[in-house]
Amino acid sequence: MTIGIGSDIVEHALTEILKWTSDPKLLKRIFSTEEIELYNNHKKITFIAGRFAVKEAVLKCLGTGMYDGIALTDIQVLQSNNGKPILKLDGEVKVISDKLGITMWHITITHSVNYSLAFVIAEGNNS
C-alpha cells in the first residue's frame, strides 16, 4: 500500500551559491559522513543536489517538514553496490516512518544541466 509520495527539485545554481560543496560545516549539517564520502568519490554538483532533493521528498512522503527534532542527517541517501540509491533513516525521521508503517522506500533521482529531481514513494502497511 502506498503511504506517501514526494518529489523535489533542486536548482544547481542555488546549490553552488550555498557552497555546499566547499563548506565542510554546512555539508555536515545536511549530509552524514557516509554521504559526504560518497560525494567525495563523485565530486559532481548533481550528486549532492540529487541527494538533497531526496531528503526533501522523504519529508513530503512523511507529511512533515523541517521542525525541531528532525535533522537532515537522519535521512541518509546511500547506494547499493550497483549504484542504486537506498535510504537509511535514523532519529525522529525513523520514528515517524515506523509509526506510519513504512516498510519500503522507492527512490529515483534524475538530472538535467540545471536541475536535479528526486521522486520518492513510501510503501507499507498502514494498520
Report the CATH number of the 2-124 domain: 3.90.470.20
Written as tens digits, the pLDDT of the chain (127 aa) is 999 999 999 998 876 656 655 667 878 888 999 998 988 887 788 888 999 999 999 999 999 877 767 899 999 999 998 989 999 999 999 999 999 999 999 999 999 999 999 999 999 986 5
**Can you say whether the dihedral through the CA atoms of 28, 114, 106, 61 is positive or negative?**
positive
Query: Which cell numbers hold the place of 78?
Result: 546511500
C-alpha dihedral (106, 112, 116, 118), degrees to nearest 10: -20
Give residues with Cβ within 8 angstroms of 51, minimum separation 6: 31, 35, 39, 77, 85, 109
Domain residues of the chain, as ranges?
Answer: 2-124
Q: Is 68 helix (H, G, I), strand (E, B) or coil?
A: coil
List active site positions. Answer: 60, 111
Order of strands, sheet of 2-11, starting from the edge strand that comes earlier in the sequence: 2-11, 115-124, 102-111
